[in-house]
Chain A
């Protein structure tokens, strides 16, 4: 069998300097919240790691996650690290098609049995198997067959992690997440619509360095990136505390960059690294562009109330029911008063 080059060899061949590589390792250690003493270990592990075989399965998705990753600032070392993985199967990126593509998937599974990573984007329909098929294979069957020999599964994007938009009410295809179906393998959720590219590469770097999955929160998300809320790290947070809010998208508050809470920002309940890792090579993140956070990395974000309704808005179903309660109150009060009057009359009579 052909010797698989190490990540270090691939990077050197692509002209990445030692300095550039160590800078990437230091950044990775920093964003993974690891001490500086871990930088040499990360460098050694990544440099000597064999290119891990990755099988990327795309189910009910919009390709936004792939767009996010492939359009992550080029040519950064993160991008190259991503290039160095052996992406053996990916609908959008692979040259092969039809039987050849499926043959590539099977070959990767056999050659790397027990050691390959499966990356999934998109939710999996559990209703009619014909809702979504690839090469005539239903998504459920393809997922189960592929993860059988995998070391770990990474659910990329909110659809794979939580069902996402296909799983939103009324969920016509019976869409479920990866972790709903895969229970016997480690599953790392990297949600977001789409997820942050840096987070993706850092999760891979963690896996290469330690051979294990990072600490996860209750939703299976790496704590390092999903441990704090957008609100906690938001540069507009001081305005929230000062009570300075934008009331519309074009008022003086919006122009002054005040807090977007009133415009429906879900930052306080959204765990993600947008405010720190940012997008487009650290250019900005949605709030910096003047739009409230939609909470896209949270489960059921599509059904969690209006995007532009403030977070503290209660979910009262209708004013009619409240009016009904008021009428009931009047009736109860009348009955209570009648009983009271009878008692009064009795006392007056006795007295």
Chain B
């Protein structure tokens, strides 16, 4: 079982459209993991049925028992997150600011503060197009711990893949370089970088590649919208060359991506014969070859 993680640094470069296409092409031989948990939308392209739902608990919230509380203010004093304030003569906890660190609860002289586990989101296992399976999630509104939810999605996908003898896990990551991205990279056999030929595309790609180096992960790259700025595309290719990262595909700027999206279809389903679909098909084959060669 091999895991391929698709990330981009910059948002909106086409990660999800491309990873959904890979998933569609591979069908039941792959499990899909949507790790962009705070703006998950791969389910739209793959027609997920949300068959199995499970609550995801993570993090804790301090609750003050007003009966026991003497309003001594010790909790407010120790809280580094400004989560406790005096309102109408009673100390109360601000749900959004509380980090769940337990400090207030530990120092309360009246044991008036209890810590309650919080539901941080929902985890789903869905049947999707082409007889395949997707693990995905929805982070609670204004909830924390997206990194942990990402880890949970990956873990579920892995268990499912092992149990059902699947050859691949295709993971769609989130933009950025912070905690959810770091979490989505763990255990990756190959990282597919999707960038675009813009100044931001290159800038963000450089930062994400630096991150990959700290984990010694092997990567390949797809340049989307390469003809938007041919010079920039050349700069990106030259940079990738110095980093020993192979460009497996260059896709031209084409609104067909959006047309497919409006029809809720991966581009390889919407227009199987078009040039972009052919290139995506070739990329996927190449990715599989690279993974096979890699011992």
A-B complex is real = no
